[in-house]
Amino acid sequence: QSALTQPASVSGSPGQSITISCTGTSSDIGAYNYVSWYQQHPGKAPKLMIYDVTNRPSGVSNRFSGSKSGNTASLTISGLQAEDEADYYCSSFTSSTTWVFGGGTKLTVL
Amino acid sequence: QLQLQESGPGLVQPSETLSLTCTVSGGSITSSTFYWGWIRQPPGKGLEWIGSIYYSGRTYYHPSFKSRVTISIDSSKNQFSLRLSSVTAADTAVYYCARHQDGTAEFAPWGQGSLVIVST
């Protein structure tokens, strides 16, 4: 079981939009609409930001949105704010009834 | 509001067994449709799912850990536990417990995490 592939880092200026990709296979991302995204600030536990590809939990800003095409899922953050600077991880359910995370992407707000 | 809290030794000797417990408060661990999982994060690295358990006791494990890991549940105490045997320095990590929906990748909420160092 291999980790999902994410870019190591992305950056953007305040107010801009950025997109983080998460590439898997036809056995995980491509097979189900069960992709989630997590935000993790240093020293803190991950926080669920998106689930089931596009859904936002209550309390999560609508600046965060998710999408999927084939074996690749994406997280878009619009109107970047300083507080968005964090690590972001994707996760997917797999056809082996296991769960897999991406390697993580460090977002820097310039 | 559901809360999870990890507990256990912060230091484990190489070749020994790592044991952690996750205590669930604000809700029942026997709720249907929910799984209870363990995820770890080595220092400076990404998240890695270890395994999950359903209240019935059914378990799912990451293939890389299958020979070394046991996850169990104690409904009377509203707790679930992780045991990882034959540990090495590579098992040094922050270990998180989290609830997730059946089949989905919706892990929430998470515990605060418990740092376990494997060293003499």
Decide if pLDDT at B102 tops 90: no
For residue A34, the chain B residue with the least C-alpha distance is B104
Placement of tokens 């993790």 in the chain: A40
* Minimal Cβ distance to B111: which of A45, A92, A101: A45
Q: What percent of chain B has pLDDT over 70?
A: 100
DSSP helix/strand/coil, A84: helix
pLDDT single digits (tens) A8-29: 999 999 999 999 999 999 999 9
How many other CB atoms sit within 10 Å of the CB of residue B115? 13
Contact A48 B107 (CB under 8 A): yes
In a mutagenesis test of the B interface, which of A36, A99, A105 is the best target, namely the one with the most B β-carbons within 10 Å?
A: A99
Minimum-distance CB partner of B49 among A34, A99, A104: A99
Question: What is the per-residue pLDDT across B11-37, written as a single tens digit (0 to 9) for each?
Answer: 999 999 999 999 999 999 998 889 999
Coil, strand, or helix at residue A32?
coil
Flag if B49 and A48 touch (Cβ within 8 Å): no
CA–CA separation, B55 vs B29, rounded Å?
A: 7
